[in-house]
Amino acid sequence: MGFITIRTEVPSLSVPSIVFPFSRDPPHLLIRRFPVLPPVLHLDDRFIVLDKPTGLLSVPGIGPEKADCLASRVNVTYPEARIVHRLDRDTSGVIVMGRDAEAHRELSRQFQDRETEKTYHALIGGHPKEDAGEIDLPLRKDLDDPPRQMVDFERGKASLTKWIVTSRGEIGDLNDALAAPDADPRMPITRLELTPLTGRSHQLRLHLKSIGHPILGDDLYAPDPLRAAVSRLCLHASRLDLTHPGNASPMSFRSPPPF
């Protein structure tokens, strides 16, 4: 039997090759049969940082059709790695996994104690009146409509998001790969830089919807015109700052937004 080799190339970083049995399947079927490791932003003996693509679960879901995820792909090469935090399936960007129990525990503690700093970028519908602001709305699960979350001033958990406008424009400003062909090119949109000071499920998505500016492509919180205007959820985890779990040195990892 012959073999082909798929190598993940990362500048100044050596990542092991993954060798798969030779297949005559077309490339798109080969990728589905042998999922490829997402881009690696950092790798050492304590933890690994990756750039998760949109459409990929962070951890397995329920059922065999949801078994493929970032964690399972990483575990093919690094079976000891464990997820520290999660990104929604359709959110892309920086995500970290611990490679031993102590590193996983320390990184998890940093997230729980809010010692990490995170920055996201998003495209939203409309043009906010202000150029910056804060959204302070308590959130909880919507027990009547999962997996959606909801604002609840009585039983919700405190949730705080800071936002800054980086540019304003129209759907027509986006490239053809992102904008839907039948989207109104005059539809107003805005690029935001987001800083979540808490880490609730769907926090950024629901907070922005709650102030009247849902994220483009959001299949849970955006109305149809904004949901269908683009080919993906336009939310990206672009920066993560944390402390090395071994030597306590400050570290920063970045991934430019792909939209």
Annotated catalytic residues are: 88
Name the token pair of 93: 């960007």
Residue 230 CB-density burial (10 A; 0-12 exposed, 13-18 middle, 19+ buried) = buried
Residue 256 and residue 51: Cα distance in Å, rounded? 10
Assign 225 to helix, strand or coil: helix
Asked if 109 contacts 101 with a C-beta cutoff of 8 angstroms, the reply is: no
First to last CA, the chain: 42
Q: Which residues contact 171 (CB under 8 A, 6 or more apart)?
A: 179, 183, 184, 185, 186, 187, 189, 229, 230
Type of residue at 29: L
User: Among candidates 187, 194, 195, which has minimal Cα distance to 223?
Assistant: 187
Q: Do residues 66 and 101 touch, judged by C-beta distance below 8 A? A: no
